[in-house]
Structure 1
Amino acid sequence: MMAIINLLQYRVISVQGLEAEKFLQGQLTCDVNGLANGQSTLTAHCDPKGKMSSIFRLLRENAEQFYLIVRHSLLPSALDNLKKYAVFSKVVFSEQDWQIIGVLDKAKCGAISADFCVEIGQSERAILLNKHVQQIDFTGSIAQWELAEMQAGYPILSPESQNEFIPQALNLQCIEQAISFQKGCYIGQETVARAKYRGINKRAMFLLNTQTDDPVQLGSEIEMELENGWRKTGVILSAVHFEGILWLQVVMNNQFEASTKFRLSGSETRLNLVELPYRLS
């Protein structure tokens, strides 16, 4: 469904300098060097243990100028973590007070004036960036954008889940160029590589929904039915209510029977497992 949405939940960080490319290549999970000018990809910044502190959309303008689109709730810690490793690099970070617009039908992007048009993978979504605020007739809600992200299998990281999961637990290996397993070292690379080549990651992100307006707590668990009753499992990564339906991204064990039943913890509200648009690997 076509919609133009004011993405107030995001901010833009400029990463600029002679060593911007080199610095980001040693920090992020994607292959920054292999990204073409004008191209973007989802990517993550990990701690030394390989747990994600932030998820960004990285936009490359050229080798000395990059932009990171990040959720506002993650911005302070995300910026601090980058700056911590940039002490001896020729790179400058600055938050940009830009207008960020989401379009749920990228074929319509040409009708909207923008300084940058950031296409999102093979989806119909796009993000438009304007250095100055323009008068735009917004036709959709933030919840509508978040739902489109979830249905596309794109993880929504919140402060409640920072430094809790490795990238593969949130399916980043399946999304765009978010993880490169061929590039050199970066923060947390050893853990990320070991999860792939030794098969140590046993978790993945799944999408579930149910008809309810009841609130849920991020970071809380859902329950799965076993022979002897219900047991808590997984962690709620994100939650969105839209038109009477609750949608959840849940990180849980990636091995379970297709017939397994799920419900909200401490409730009789059953959850439906929704198929993701990619195959887990």
Structure 2
Amino acid sequence: MTPPLFQGVTPPLATLGVIRADGPDAAAFLHGQLTQDFLLLKDDAARLAALCSPKGRMLASFIAWRQAPEQFLLVCAQDLLAPTLKRLSMFVLRAKVKLVDATAEHAVRGLAGAAIAAAGADPAATPGQRQATADGATVVALHGCEGVPRALWVAPAGHAAPQGNELAADAWAWSEVRSGVVPISAPVVDAFVPQMLNYESVGGVSFKKGCYPGQEVVARSQFRGTLKRRGYVVTAPAPLAAGQEVFAAADADQPVGTVAAAAPAPDGQGWAAFVSLQTAALAAGGLRVGEVALDVQPLPYPLLEDL
């Protein structure tokens, strides 16, 4: 059952930053660099997307949308914003697009439960739906957490906060983990192909668009049925951290997975984590991080079958 503390509005989320892309070529540039289709992105939609290395490994992830006809906002992990901005800027070349760190210009908060309606948005919106509120904020529907709707609220810095109970940042992090959709952060840069975190199953990869760095590896993993690692939600009685290795009881020396994100439960009863695991390791059982035993939970969404 969802802890009652998981309702309300978070403070500004210091773990998130904002990149702004301006210019007539902004859509085409992002389309050619990230895993999503930005050329066909509608004004009422947002996209989960990843920036990959040539080997198909995720270097950053984003929730992105068209803020104006020639402007996009990309929300990403704050600890990756500077290197991500630097890497993307290397490929601008002659494209008519300007990329800037716009974090200081925006307030980013999480909304859960009744706070979404209080902010002027529809709590029943499907994940990826973008709504512009009457007071000038943007609300992006996210995957829910155990029946509680969730959304990202983004507004100009200094904008009045939405009405609602205060929701702790740790509780929001827990909800991200339990939703099964987690962002890439510094401890796990270059560790996962998108499918290892189920990004293809939650709308984070388009297989119909053109090329982008790592596209061949990502597509080959999907179409040739070579997916051997997937993301899973687990619970644990003790603290966990992104980047820690997961082991199975059958082999204490060879890791079978990696913790992608972790957070304490709002009620103080243990921790939740999202881990990328070898699918064969689930049958082996006895999963641990150090001495901490892991209990695998059902995924909150179906996995896309290999194509």
TM-score normalised per structure 2: 0.83
Q: 1:61 to 1:223 in 2, by over 3 A?
A: same
Q: 1:2 to 1:257 in 2, by over 3 A?
A: closer
State the identity %.
28
May I ask how many residue pairs the two structures share in their alignment?
Answer: 275
Give, in angstroms, the shift of residue 35 of structure 1.
Answer: 1.5
Q: 1:23 and 2:46 equivalent?
A: no
Secondary structure, in 3 states, of the residue corresponding to 2:191? coil
**Cα-to-partner distance string for 1:41-77 (whole Å, 9 max, x where unaligned):** 2110111111111000011134411100011111111
Distance in 1 between the 2:176 and 2:282 partners?
A: 26
One-letter identity of the residue aligned with 1:76: A
Match runs of 1:1-281 below 5 Å: 1-6=6-11, 7-96=13-102, 97=104, 98-105=106-113, 106-110=116-120, 113-120=135-142, 124-136=149-161, 139-176=166-203, 178-212=204-238, 215-226=239-250, 232-242=255-265, 243-258=268-283, 260-265=285-290, 267=291, 269-281=292-304
Asked whether the equivalents of residues 224 and 230 of structure 1 are also in contact (C-alpha less than 8 Å), the reply is no
TM-score normalised per structure 1: 0.90
Give, in angstroms, the shift of residue 122 of structure 1.
Answer: 6.6
Query: Gapped runs of 5+ residues in structure 1?
Result: none
Distance in 2 between the 1:19 and 1:244 partners?
A: 49
One-letter identity of the residue aligned with 2:288: R
Asked whether the equivalents of residues 248 and 284 of structure 2 are also in contact (C-alpha less than 8 Å), the reply is no
Q: 1:57 to 1:234 in 2, by over 3 A?
A: same
Secondary structure, in 3 states, of the residue corresponding to 2:80? helix
Asked whether the equivalents of residues 85 and 100 of structure 2 are also in contact (C-alpha less than 8 Å), the reply is no
Distance in 2 between the 1:11 and 1:217 partners?
A: 21
Asked whether the equivalents of residues 114 and 129 of structure 1 are also in contact (C-alpha less than 8 Å), the reply is no
One-letter identity of the residue aligned with 2:285: T
Asked whether the equivalents of residues 204 and 253 of structure 1 are also in contact (C-alpha less than 8 Å), the reply is yes
One-letter identity of the residue aligned with 1:143: D
Asked whether the equivalents of residues 26 and 185 of structure 1 are also in contact (C-alpha less than 8 Å), the reply is yes
Secondary structure, in 3 states, of the residue corresponding to 1:164? coil
Asked whether the equivalents of residues 114 and 128 of structure 1 are also in contact (C-alpha less than 8 Å), the reply is no
Give, in angstroms, the shift of residue 258 of structure 1.
Answer: 4.8
Q: 1:277 to 1:67 in 2, by over 3 A?
A: same
Q: 1:237 to 1:18 in 2, by over 3 A?
A: same
Which moved further from structure 2: 178-187 or 241-250? 241-250
Asked whether the equivalents of residues 46 and 64 of structure 2 are also in contact (C-alpha less than 8 Å), the reply is yes
Distance in 2 between the 1:202 and 1:167 partners?
A: 12
Give, in angstroms, the shift of residue 89 of structure 1.
Answer: 0.8
TM-align CA RMSD? 2.2
Secondary structure, in 3 states, of the residue corresponding to 2:255? strand
